[in-house]
Structure 1
């Protein structure tokens, strides 16, 4: 097992195998927590409280299970550093490259959503004191620099600070919205429609987009796999996973239901801006570090994948050489620049996340884990009755992944087209305020 690990335990070079399971659980937590807690309340309006709650719980259980499949498969095949390596074991070079491209696109888009979130925070804190493109560029530089720390263990302390930061910010907003007579974005005089529904009746487009938004809030489990390769004991993966997901899903459900109940259709996107200008500035001031760390982790995951692909099986992978550092910094700043461009091209937070979920995470987070399980347990097809039921039940995962990929992409693209037509989205690289502060 140890011989097949990507990173070897070494004393003569860079030792990447230093992450314990507790630190791994916090890294996992920070990878998926920020985007979900900021986007789910908006999706609740489309699905209603009951539908939204069922969607949060259902997607949470499903993504936890597919994360178990991925982690177990990786530990049975320890030479796999990423989901693309697993695809290579499953279907050869062609499938590996297809999944590798999807993986890169997914986390470049996630890093873009993080950069967008940081630019919104800076606009809110400064009351739009500068062009939004400049705030986004500053966010790109800060995120790329922090993502350039080479080891997950070394950025582990940032995840503690980042998680505490974003949790405190969201908690402040959750409390603040319950103290207002009416939502901050609603008309402050006269009658108004809250837009809170226990049962909603969305169109297919709004429903599938809301569902994709909730799905993506916990679907980034493929980012856990590179962390396993840097754990001291990869066998402790399940402990870190269950600790993370239990906290994340319960927090998602509680926070999003409270914000939706008090804000209804007037919830902001991201939801951290839902309690008025003063609270928004306080929350963004506290949560800014958390937003930066989230984008940093997404970019680090994408860059680490590309870095390992380029230098794998060479001495430069774990030696402090010019090629080692040049490749690493080229990966972080190069992918960071692409994330910055995409963030400016699709400047609506929820749409960027939903597009990521439908195009990328549906295939690699649902469909591919199903095929991985079917490959390793193909003998179940002719086993006992229970084994045969398990085998055929797992075909549901590829079918669900295909449906969400096609249907979700169609829905999100149509909403983006409508948003441009209705002038909800300005032109690409627009200087307009994206925080609603002016």
Structure 2
């Protein structure tokens, strides 16, 4: 994978004399906007309000419904502490990311971010490019699998699961066709609304039903009355605890997409406003519904929590709305992935920014290829849940922690301890670096151990028609 050589050669050099005080940065942003206005397809058009919807659409997802399981593994105290600390680190790293992009406004994606953060390193760029595509395609595959689960559940497995997966894949390709995130942000509003309804219905049903039905340790009441606890139950393995932590951090680490989002804002300097909206929504949705779910499901909590509901009609009614965010979030990841490859293929030709047959043909072709590869992953991987833990350890360790500790050092390396406030932030970013290294070391080990356990047991054959209904 090549470094962003065309950017440095085919447009003004914006690296010289950039400061983080915003003076020359605003001039650079204005120059980029003027350049964008010359194109037929304009990318830098999102307001901060549209960006907030796009962020919410990407973050308000099915993974929220797996957090009750994390609490059931960790218990109240470690679980809530992990959630709160993850939220604080999310805000801190996201603000550092934005400040770094304000120093280098020409950054278009996480690959450019890695290139500049690591001293214009071609190796960092190639590494980031591989990680971006691998992470996003695997996540799209997870959403295809989730969509197939929804259709299996609603239809009582009326068709082969592979057929449902193909249906989801085709719908995903169609929804992914808009080339600007401005248009995708409109879909994100609907996605957030549907996921909110799904969560609300789940909470109502979990509260009014007599008892949950299914748990990983047996159907109710095999494992006794529903109960909650402050710390992990006796016999809980370290691997389970680590995977529960990875499950939480995975939900709080969406920064891999943020540089692309910022690059399509009309005023990138307004990103903190959108981030503040997202953080407020996330704090409520990532902690309150999982806590209520754990309260009513206790040790019977599953991932996602819909699977524990005892009344089939409750399960179907609440799970049905998940199909919308499943497709739209997949479309967001597909857009970012396709856009990265598209501009590598098209460069600065007229096809990159105009409504030409070649431009649209390449765009649609790339989108189809991305979804087809993701479909294949969704069919051959034995447990997408464990592979999400692998994503959290291998990818989020960099894109959620390590990258921003390095970026912070680049921003303030001459004044890391200039005053009490700066010293506190420096120590916090040191902690962020250690968190990333911890996920990359012990976290990756735990994820691999879980996958090995999957392969040692019964494995669903590839492209199976097996029923995946909850």
- Provide TM-score, normalisation by structure 1: 0.93
Say yes or no: does 1:73 pair with 2:100: yes
How does 1:236-275 map onto structure 2 within 5 Å? 236-275=270-309
C-alpha contact 1:30 1:162 (8 A) present in aligned 2: yes
Say yes or no: does 1:289 pair with 2:321: no
SS of residue paired to 2:148? helix
Which of 214, 218, 231 is the aligned partner of 2:252?
A: 218
Q: After the TM superposition, which of the residue ranges 343-352 and 106-115 deviates more from structure 2? A: 343-352
Alpha carbons of 1:254 and 1:6: their partners in 2 closer, same or farther (altered >3 Å)? same
Say yes or no: does 1:230 pair with 2:298: no
Alpha carbons of 1:101 and 1:283: their partners in 2 closer, same or farther (altered >3 Å)? same
What is the CA-CA distance between 1:385 and the residue it aligns to?
6.2
Which of 37, 42, 54 is the aligned partner of 1:10?
A: 37
C-alpha contact 1:166 1:291 (8 A) present in aligned 2: no
What is the CA-CA distance between 1:190 and the residue it aligns to?
7.4
Q: After the TM superposition, which of the residue ranges 6-15 and 17-26 deviates more from structure 2? A: 6-15
Number of equivalences: 435
What is the CA-CA distance between 1:382 and the residue it aligns to?
6.9
What is the CA-CA distance between 1:120 and the residue it aligns to?
0.6
- 1:324 is matched with which residue? 359
Unaligned runs of at least 5 residues, structure 2: 1-27
What is the CA-CA distance between 1:237 and the residue it aligns to?
0.1
What is the CA-CA distance between 1:358 and the residue it aligns to?
0.9
What is the CA-CA distance between 1:420 and the residue it aligns to?
3.5
User: What's the CA shift string for 1:104-135, capped at 9, x where partnerless?
Assistant: 11111221221111111000011111111111
In the alignment, the residues of structure 1 paired with residue 125 and residue 313 of structure 2 have an alpha-carbon distance, to the nearest angstrom, of 49
C-alpha contact 2:133 2:337 (8 A) present in aligned 1: yes
User: What's the CA shift string for 1:25-72, capped at 9, x where partnerless?
Assistant: 111011122043122112111111221111111111111211111122
What is the CA-CA distance between 1:90 and the residue it aligns to?
2.7
SS of residue paired to 1:196? coil
Unaligned runs of at least 5 residues, structure 1: none
**Greater Rg by CA:** 2
Alpha carbons of 1:304 and 1:33: their partners in 2 closer, same or farther (altered >3 Å)? same
- 2:169 is matched with which residue? 140
In the alignment, the residues of structure 2 paired with residue 254 and residue 79 of structure 1 have an alpha-carbon distance, to the nearest angstrom, of 38
What is the CA-CA distance between 1:23 and the residue it aligns to?
1.2
Say yes or no: does 1:394 pair with 2:421: no
In the alignment, the residues of structure 1 paired with residue 397 and residue 171 of structure 2 have an alpha-carbon distance, to the nearest angstrom, of 30
C-alpha contact 1:84 1:103 (8 A) present in aligned 2: yes
In the alignment, the residues of structure 2 paired with residue 155 and residue 207 of structure 1 have an alpha-carbon distance, to the nearest angstrom, of 36
Q: After the TM superposition, which of the residue ranges 36-45 and 115-124 deviates more from structure 2? A: 36-45
- 2:228 is matched with which residue? 196
Which of 73, 77, 81 is the aligned partner of 1:46?
A: 73
What is the CA-CA distance between 1:241 and the residue it aligns to?
0.6
In the alignment, the residues of structure 2 paired with residue 86 and residue 297 of structure 1 have an alpha-carbon distance, to the nearest angstrom, of 19
- 2:183 is matched with which residue? 154
- Aligned CA RMSD, in angstroms, stands at 2.2
Say yes or no: does 1:82 pair with 2:117: no
In the alignment, the residues of structure 2 paired with residue 6 and residue 432 of structure 1 have an alpha-carbon distance, to the nearest angstrom, of 51
In the alignment, the residues of structure 1 paired with residue 461 and residue 229 of structure 2 have an alpha-carbon distance, to the nearest angstrom, of 33
In the alignment, the residues of structure 1 paired with residue 76 and residue 419 of structure 2 have an alpha-carbon distance, to the nearest angstrom, of 41
Alpha carbons of 1:22 and 1:429: their partners in 2 closer, same or farther (altered >3 Å)? same
- 2:192 is matched with which residue? 163
What is the CA-CA distance between 1:376 and the residue it aligns to?
1.6
